[in-house]
Structure 1
Amino acid sequence: MSTVAPDFEKTDIGNIQIAPEVIEIIAGLAAVEVPGVAGMSAGFVGGIAELLGRKNLSKGVKVTVGQREASVDVSVIIEFGVRIPELASEIQRNVKRSIDSMTGLHVVEVNVHIHDVLFKGAEKTEEDDTVLRVK
């Protein structure tokens, strides 16, 4: 049996529906578990939401869902020093694999957008590392 979103899937005992927001969360979590990804980037609007105290687990992810297919855009912040083409390919593979295995949807594309680079400064503070952002 396959699952569909946003339409309903009929089974013997009821309907199954996966909200697009769930697919966004799956994609976001799959992207950040790749070594070299420092975090997700939500851009200006997401930054305002964070300042207002709203935590969004699907930050930096946009999903377009059809009957049996999904298209995903992820916006990430990477760690300084990683090879970007290899990192982006690994993000694509991990997001596709996670969505496919958890929902049964066929992922037709995963577009990776690198929005920022995060690197640790050479000096250490007393409490933790100094973190600098470069745009």
Structure 2
Amino acid sequence: MSTLTTEFEKTDIGTIQIAPEVIEVIAGLATVEVPGVAGMSGGFAGGIAELLGRKNLSKGVKVEVGQREAAIDVSIVIEFGHRIPEVAGAIQRNVKQTIESMTGLTVVEVNVHIHDVQFKPADKNPQEEEETTAHRVK
């Protein structure tokens, strides 16, 4: 991917360039800090990177960046029990505000894709589990 040099990023002493990967990381961090987001939903490459022990901060984020504008797609896993429209709206607002304040780019759209729902593990007493198994299997 190429770096961006916009007219407003030229200064008296040089230019400022923002790589698209930087925008992806900012969007990913802004997404996961929203309550109700269980995690990002990345593809095959993101899963491989995590298995190798690397933290992929741009997992589940796609950006299209022009000279002055950016469009962002985020793919998430939502926690069960949260209202999807409220969480998605909060993600859109947070990603837009964070990217615009940090980069000066105008965010024209933030598309939120929900790929899965994460259920909280049931709090079971290990003794109850053994009793249930004992009654079921004879």
TM-score band w.r.t. shorter chain:
0.7 to 0.9
CA distance in 1, matches of 2:69, 2:125: 48
Q: Which runs of 4+ in 1 moved over 4 A?
A: none
Aligned-residue Cα RMSD (Å) equals: 1.6
Taking structure 1 as the reference length, the TM-score comes to: 0.84
Q: In the TM superposition, what are the counterparts of 1:9-28 in structure 2 within 5 Å? A: 9-28=9-28
2:80–2:117 Cα contact (<8 Å) kept: yes
Deviates more, 1:9-18 or 1:93-102: 9-18
Match of 1:44 in 2: 44
Q: Which runs of 5+ in 2 are unaligned?
A: 127-138
Match of 1:82 in 2: 82
Aligned residues: 122
Q: Which runs of 5+ in 1 are unaligned?
A: 127-135
Residue 62 of structure 2 corresponds to residue 62 of structure 1: yes
Taking structure 2 as the reference length, the TM-score comes to: 0.82
One-letter amino acid of the structure 2 residue matched with residue 101 of structure 1: S
Deviation at 1:124, TM superposition (A): 4.6
2:5–2:15 Cα contact (<8 Å) kept: no
2:4–2:17 Cα contact (<8 Å) kept: yes
One-letter amino acid of the structure 1 residue matched with residue 46 of structure 2: G
Match of 2:117 in 1: 117
Larger relative helix fraction: 2
One-letter amino acid of the structure 1 residue matched with residue 4 of structure 2: P
- Greater radius of gyration (CA): 2
The CA deviation string for residues 69-120 of structure 1, in whole angstroms up to 9 with x for no partner, is 0000001111000000111011000000000000010001000011111121
Larger relative strand fraction: 1
CA distance in 2, matches of 1:43, 1:88: 20
Pick the aligned partner of 2:5 from 4, 7, 23: 7
Percent identity over the alignment? 78
The CA deviation string for residues 9-35 of structure 1, in whole angstroms up to 9 with x for no partner, is 210111101111111111000001100
